[in-house]
Amino acid sequence: MTSSAPDTFPKLLLEHARLRPSRPANREKDYGIWQSWNWAQVASEVEALACGLSMLGFSRGDKLAIIGDNRPQLYWAIAATQALGGVPVPIYQDSVAEEMAFVLDHAEVRFAIAEDQEQVDKLVAVKERCPLLEAVIFCDPRGMRHYSQPYLHDYTDMQRRGSERALGEPSFFRAEIAKGRGNDTAIILYTSGTTGRPKGVVLTFNNIISTAKNAIEFESLTDREEVLAYLPMAWIGEHIFSYAEAYCAGFCVSCPESQATIMADLRELGPTFFFAPPRIFENILTQVTIRMEDAAWAKRKLFRYFLDIAKRAGSPILDRKPVPFGDRLLYWLGDLLVYGPLKNTLGLSRIRVAYTAGEAIGPDLFTFYRSLGINLKQLYGMTESSVFLCIQKDGAARPDTVGAPIKDVEIHVAEDGEILFRSPGAFQNYYKNPEATAETKRLDGWVYTGDSGFFDSDGQLKILDRAKDVSRLKSSELFAPKFIENKLKFFPYIKEAVAFGDDRPFVTAFVNIDLEAVGDWAERRNLAYASYQELAADDAVYDLVQGCIEQVNRDLAAAPAVAGSQIRRFLILPKELDADDGELTRTRKVRRRIITSRYQPLVDALYSNRATGYIETEIAFEDGRKGRMGAELAIRTVGIPVSMVEPLPFKKRVEA
């Protein structure tokens, strides 16, 4: 980067407004049509907002909490805050009031911008406990008429006052922006916290901009990309893809109409650059599978036939590898009849680059999308690294690796398998948490990721699991729970799975059924059920899940390294694991320790000879009330191939 290049996002914004004023910068579907704003308009929106904020008393170094679904106004609020030398602090919009209060308090937030009444209510509820919080701005005035709190401000009013001031004092905005430096704090992002309290990751403009630029160069992204912003704004991935990269490359970011319309909006928009965590790809596949099950006989046949062709020929064609002419022809026909229309329905026709990360992705799931001709790749990164550490190159995408380190990133695998990195994107510190910072970012600049992994022969990094989660069975065979859980979750009927086996004689599992898929399956079999709990306890559903587990066991038996991890016993949980109950993180990762302790009686039952287990759990309702739920659950023992019943001595089997 040369010294004259813009080193903050507000400077980048001004540059785009100058270079490509009439290119679209933001779109939002509202009242049924896509409304759009070009870069010049965005610049003036941000200017008015920044002036409005400063009239409320916002000054350099202040923090602005941002709470809500993806809305252009909230992205502008990030830019406006940064223009004023403040620090945006996005908060997960589905946080309960308590979680919100922690972040507001910890980050010493003075100003907050909330999308709607729902979020304002939470802020009003915690206002007492956050004495620093001075002003709350709301975007959607609906239902806000009778709120008399003096600290509430309407976005439109504030912005209008701001634009009047901007007219009167046109140099203010640019002067404030000019004060910004690349090594100023750009944003504080609170990690969802798989363990303990969330930590505020402090990133500078230099961190984010240099990482984003390297990633843009790696994928040759241009200002013509189309992106749909639909993941939580408080998550680093969303911030990088829908804000940082958009501001660096100058492409357009679109916001969906509502959370419920994302799939329809995706289809209308046809993004070229797309990110989704594995669970979204899983959901999409589940939808497709369900719809194909309901389709006519001929369509089903056609779908299955061409899917087999795709499995064989799709990935090699995408990777530009030699493929027999016959397969190529069939694939072309399949594209015409099945893959093309399918991708079009899903809104994935125009994808140039699609990423998945955050969790390991099931190999079958990964291959499914690639075989359709969607350039789905994996990457490796985290909040502490401004995302990009490794990205798979086009043509080198594999389901079990995360790619090689990109430009300027150094990766080192420690003796014990933990992955360390050093990069320009490496975070500054955890906000007001020097102990955690010292533990993660050592003096020589290496950041300890807490992930365990290794480089394979062609230089791509392979992630096993969180370092603390990889363990061994009693027989000292490797037990990587996530690996097993992902295999289970590939079945549309299984929404979530938790495998146990650490220092145990064999592997067992909890299963969460997918209500939509299993419900549909039950409906087609005229299976009556009144509730999730009843469906989950049904014998036929147990049979269905057992079938899935046997399939997984067969797959596991085929790979010597994990053959010992076959699932012996399982049960189906009577309730969905839920972030509100603390069982999943807000990004829907399993919180293993909490689940183990909460369901201890069930884990014990899995390792006993009993055919049932009893559990009573506390559940939190959406309105914050708590209730208790008791259930007697069936436990099934799964047949293990004969050779496994009396395991051969460890060493001998390795040779075999």
Partner 1 sequence: MKRVGDRILTADRITLAFGGITALNEISVELRRHEILAMIGPNGAGKTSMLNVINGFYHPQGGTITWKGETRRRMRPYHAAAQGIARTFQNVALFRGMTTLDNIMTGRLLRMRRNFLWQAIHFGPAEKEELAHRARVERIIDFLEIQAIRKTPVGRLPYGLQKRVELGRALAMEPELLLLDEPMAGMNVEEKEDMCRFILDINDEFGTTIALIEHDMGVVMDISDRVIVLDYGRKIADGLPKEVRASPEVIAAYLGEPHGDEVPAAPIPLRRAVAT
11 burial via Cβ count (<10 Å: 0-12, 13-18, 19+): buried
User: Please, which residue, 31 or 325, has the CB nearer to partner 1?
Assistant: 31
Residue 260 contacts partner 1 per CB under 8 A = yes
Output the six-digit token pair for 192. Answer: 């969802």
Residue 530 contacts partner 1 per CB under 8 A = no
β 626-637/612-620 pair status = antiparallel
Cα separation, 155 vs 140, in Å, equals 8
Residue among 604, 603, 613 at smallest CA distance from 635: 613
C-alpha pair distances (Å), 366 with each of 39, 504, 524: 36, 31, 29
User: Please, which residue, 29 or 592, has the CB nearer to partner 1?
Assistant: 29
Residue among 44, 43, 82, 49 at smallest CA distance from 63: 82
Residue 261 contacts partner 1 per CB under 8 A = yes
Residue 627 contacts partner 1 per CB under 8 A = no
Among 258, 475, 612, 643, binds partner 1 (CB under 8 A): 258
Stretch that binds partner 1, among 43-51, 256-264, 581-589, 645-653 (CB under 8 A): 256-264
User: Please, which residue, 142 or 320, has the CB nearer to partner 1?
Assistant: 142
User: Please, which residue, 118 or 439, has the CB nearer to partner 1?
Assistant: 118
DSSP alpha helices (H): ranges in 29-154?
Answer: 39-55, 72-83, 97-106, 117-126
Subset of 28-67 contacting partner 1 (CB under 8 A): 30-33
Provide the minimum distance between the beta carbon of 574 and partner 1 in the complex, in angstroms, as a whole number: 20
Residue 344 contacts partner 1 per CB under 8 A = no
User: Please, which residue, 262 or 396, has the CB nearer to partner 1?
Assistant: 262
- Please state, as a whole number, how many other Cβ atoms lie within 10 Å of the Cβ of residue 656: 8
User: Strand runs (DSSP E) across 78-207, as ranges?
Assistant: 87-91, 111-114, 135-138, 152-154, 185-190, 200-204
Find out whether 155 and 163 touch, Cβ atoms under 8 Å.
no
Provide the minimum distance between the beta carbon of 264 and partner 1 in the complex, in angstroms, as a whole number: 7
Provide the minimum distance between the beta carbon of 261 and partner 1 in the complex, in angstroms, as a whole number: 5
Among 97, 264, 413, 467, binds partner 1 (CB under 8 A): 264
Unique residue bearing structure tokens 């923090």: 63
Output the six-digit token pair for 432. Answer: 């007001």
Subset of 138-177 contacting partner 1 (CB under 8 A): 142-143, 145-146
308 CB-near residues (< 8 Å, 6+ apart): none
User: Please, which residue, 147 or 455, has the CB nearer to partner 1?
Assistant: 147
User: Please, which residue, 117 or 195, has the CB nearer to partner 1?
Assistant: 117
Provide the minimum distance between the beta carbon of 140 and partner 1 in the complex, in angstroms, as a whole number: 10
For the window 567-606, what string marks contact with partner 1 as x by the rule CB under 8 A?
----------------------------------------
User: Please, which residue, 71 or 377, has the CB nearer to partner 1?
Assistant: 71
Provide the minimum distance between the beta carbon of 33 and partner 1 in the complex, in angstroms, as a whole number: 8
Interface with partner 1 (CB under 8 A), residue total 14
For the window 184-213, what string marks contact with partner 1 as x by the rule CB under 8 A?
------------------------------
Chain-centroid distance, C-alpha 17? 31
Residue among 225, 236, 272, 502 at smallest CA distance from 383: 236
Provide the minimum distance between the beta carbon of 73 and partner 1 in the complex, in angstroms, as a whole number: 15
User: Strand runs (DSSP E) across 173-309, as ranges?
Assistant: 185-190, 200-204, 226-228, 252-255, 273-275
Provide the minimum distance between the beta carbon of 266 and partner 1 in the complex, in angstroms, as a whole number: 13
Size of the chain in residues: 656
Provide the minimum distance between the beta carbon of 622 and partner 1 in the complex, in angstroms, as a whole number: 8
Tell me the CB-side half-sphere exposure of residue 367, using CA atoms within 13 A: 14
Residues that bind partner 1 (CB under 8 A): 30-33, 142-143, 145-146, 257-258, 260-261, 264, 622
